[in-house]
A and B are shown apart, each in its own frame.
Chain A
Amino acid sequence: GAGVSQSPSNKVTEKGKDVELRCDPISGHTALYWYRQSLGQGLEFLIYFQGNSAPDKSGLPSDRFSAERTGGSVSTLTIQRTQQEDSAVYLCASSSAPGPQPQHFGDGTRLSIL
């Protein structure tokens, strides 16, 4: 597609359930980022994929969070045993290369934990 696509756009689930969020980056983009935006807060870096290199997971808040990127394209962010504080908008971005290149964002998945 023309831009970064994220699904679902909204997700409501009960505390303790696992959730999977999907990101389809722009075709050919080698760099992919996941961020979290909580209400009234700035975006928070979660994880970064670059090509076939090992991902930078330094932003993941706990071991309940994990992410994969299959075939250098689609990425899935998984949150296990969700907690209410996980409620936020999860944004994905891709860029053609690391460094000072424009990052193209999807419109995010709004996750609400009941």
Chain B
Amino acid sequence: KNQVEQSPQSLIILEGKNCTLQCNYTVSPFSNLRWYKQDTGRGPVSLTIMTFSENTKSNGRYTATLDADTKQSSLHITASQLSDSASYICVVSGRAGGSYIPTFGRGTSLIVHP
């Protein structure tokens, strides 16, 4: 069964600090891995997308890594800001025929305190 596990479930940090969120998956065959940011009451917004051959991707203060051998990914947030407070969701898509069906993690809830 395809699964995506994220840790920690929640995290509280001080503004300006760095943090790293983890994602482990068992999706096969693997197509791509995405990280999304979801603010309360809003739809998720894409941060990064990585395919099998990519092991790092940056988007501003967000840097995602992918180890396809160990089936692990991380999202590193640098110099956190209050606006980074949100849920961060890891999504892994497998390919079945012509379909790319995503499996979602439950997310890490990040709170940034001033």
- A56-B99, A99-B31, A100-B31 as given contacts; A107 in contact with B43, CB under 8 Å: yes
Kindly identify, within residues 24 to 50 of chain A, every residue whose CB is under 8 Å from any CB belonging to chain B.
Answer: 33, 35, 40-45, 48, 50
Residue of A nearest to B47 (CB): A102
Q: How far is the CB of B56 from chain A (nearest CB, A)?
A: 15
- Give how many B residues have a beta carbon under 8 Å from the other chain's beta carbons: 27
Q: Would you call the interface of chain B mostly helix, strand, loop, or mixed?
A: strand
Quick check: is A58 within 8 A (CB to CB) of the other chain?
A: yes
Bound form: Cα–Cα A93–B51 in Å:
20
Quick check: is B12 within 8 A (CB to CB) of the other chain?
A: no
The listed residue (A41, A45, A101, A105) touching B101 by CB distance below 8 A is A45
Which residues in B have their C-beta under 8 angstroms from that of A107? Answer: 41-43
Say whether A50 contacts B98, CB under 8 Å.
yes
Which residues in B have their C-beta under 8 angstroms from that of A106? Answer: 43
Kindly identify, within residues 11 to 70 of chain B, every residue whose CB is under 8 Å from any CB belonging to chain A.
Answer: 31-32, 34, 41-46, 49-51
Kindly identify, within residues 57 to 91 of chain A, every residue whose CB is under 8 Å from any CB belonging to chain B.
Answer: 58-59, 91
Kindly identify, within residues 75 to 111 of chain B, every residue whose CB is under 8 Å from any CB belonging to chain A.
Answer: 89, 91, 93, 95, 98-107
Say whether A91 contacts B43, CB under 8 Å.
yes
Quick check: is A111 within 8 A (CB to CB) of the other chain?
A: no
- A residues apposed to B, CB below 8 Å: 4, 33, 35, 40-45, 48, 50, 53, 56, 58-59, 91, 93, 98-108
Q: Other CB < 8 Å A-B pairs besides A99-B93, A99-B100, A105-B44, 20 of them?
A: A41-B106, A42-B104, A42-B106, A43-B44, A43-B89, A43-B91, A45-B101, A45-B103, A48-B99, A50-B99, A56-B99, A56-B101, A58-B99, A91-B43, A100-B49, A100-B51, A103-B34, A105-B43, A106-B43, A108-B43
